[in-house]
């Protein structure tokens, strides 16, 4: 089984591609834990993987909590992270709670539009095309129960993961800066897709009912009306979510 967490679809696509190539199944972590903590047991001769995006050079807390619920009893375990460019020491940190044998990073289009604009359409297509080829190699390695560590950590990886990640989780995950413009048509997509149920509809408009969220950027990037903002910078930034038409044939 391959368990994934995804906000704008990058990691979902990666998980499903690996599952397709390894004759496995992909399961959403958010769906699995929405009713409370769960327990996963992976015994001898089993194969288990986790796929997730990198947030501030670390794994999302929801992923780390889920990995702590996994018991590895002889199974082959692997982890794949998606990132705009680099992963820092996120995968090294993850191994302390999820003792994988294989680990890989896959570069995908940027979606954190609070700090940066989206990648150009050309760069999006280029990243996805390269990722598609890389997933073939990763899938073959998984089928071979390979022991590999092929992760782009980037410069200053230790400092980024040790210092920036905890500051991000403490201060940047507040929902206070989210706002909704009058162009919102009340389609409820943001509330339906929020992985932790942080958004509720009131009087036909979304409100963030929880003080903190995962910062998956799903709500802001998927809004059909581009009505959701986070501060002032996102008004001038593009929107991104994974679609199959972004892939080169």
Using CA atoms, how far apart are residues 133 and 33, in angstroms rounded to an integer?
32
Position 249 confidence tier, pLDDT thresholds 50, 70, 90: very low
Close Cβ partners of 105 (under 8 Å, ≥ 6 residues apart): 54, 80, 81, 82, 83, 86, 87, 91, 150, 151, 152
Residues 159 and 69 in one domain: yes
Residues 199 and 120 in one domain: no
Q: What is the pTM of this model?
A: 0.95
Summarize pLDDT for 141-180 with one digit per residue, the tens. Answer: 999 999 999 999 999 999 999 999 999 999 999 999 999 9
Out of 1-10, 12-21, 31-40, 81-90, pick the least confident. 31-40
Summarize pLDDT for 197-213 with one digit per residue, the tens. Answer: 999 999 999 999 999 99
Residues 80 and 193 in one domain: no
Q: What is the pLDDT of residue 9?
A: 96
Distances in Å between the Cα of 10 and the Cα atoms of 68, 100, 123 are 23, 21, 15
| 78 vs 38: which has the higher pLDDT | 78
Residues 14 and 129 in one domain: yes
As a whole number, the mean pLDDT across the chain is 95
Residues 72 and 146 in one domain: yes
Residue that terminates a domain, selected from 142, 165, 188: 165
Residue that terminates a domain, selected from 136, 165, 194: 165
**Selection from 80, 85, 84, 89 nearest residue 26 by Cα:** 80
Residues 191 and 160 in one domain: no
Is residue 93, in this structure, part of any structural domain at all?
yes
The stretch 225-232 carries a mean pLDDT of 95
Range of the domain at 17: 2-165
Residues 95 and 72 in one domain: yes
Using CA atoms, how far apart are residues 128 and 203, in angstroms rounded to an integer?
39
Residue that terminates a domain, selected from 131, 146, 165: 165
Residues 63 and 180 in one domain: no
């Amino acid at each position: 089984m391959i368990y994934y967490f995804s906000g704008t679809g990058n990691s979902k696509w990666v998980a499903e591609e690996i599952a397709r190539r390894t004759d496995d199944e992909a399961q959403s972590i958010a769906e699995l834990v929405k009713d409370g903590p769960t327990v996963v047991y992976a015994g001898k001769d089993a194969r288990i993987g986790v796929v997730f995006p990198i947030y501030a050079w670390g794994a999302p807390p929801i992923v780390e909590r889920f990995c702590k619920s996994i018991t590895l009893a002889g199974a082959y375990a692997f982890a794949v992270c998606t990132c705009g460019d680099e992963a820092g020491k996120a995968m090294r940190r993850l191994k302390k709670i999820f003792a994988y044998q294989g680990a890989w990073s896959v570069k995908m289009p940027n979606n954190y539009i609070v700090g940066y604009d989206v990648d150009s359409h050309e760069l999006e297509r280029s990243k996805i095309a390269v990722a598609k080829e890389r997933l073939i190699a990763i899938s073959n390695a998984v089928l071979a129960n390979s022991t590999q560590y092929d992760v782009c950590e980037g410069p200053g990886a230790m400092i980024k993961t040790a210092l920036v990640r905890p500051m991000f989780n403490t201060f940047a995950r507040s929902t206070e800066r989210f706002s909704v413009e009058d162009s919102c048509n009340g389609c409820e997509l943001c509330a339906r897709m929020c992985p932790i149920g942080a958004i509720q509809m009131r009087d036909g408009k979304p409100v963030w009912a929880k003080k903190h969220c995962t910062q998956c950027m799903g709500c802001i990037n998927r809004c059909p009306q581009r009505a959701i903002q986070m501060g002032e910078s996102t008004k001038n930034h593009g929107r991104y979510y994974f679609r199959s038409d972004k892939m080169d044939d």
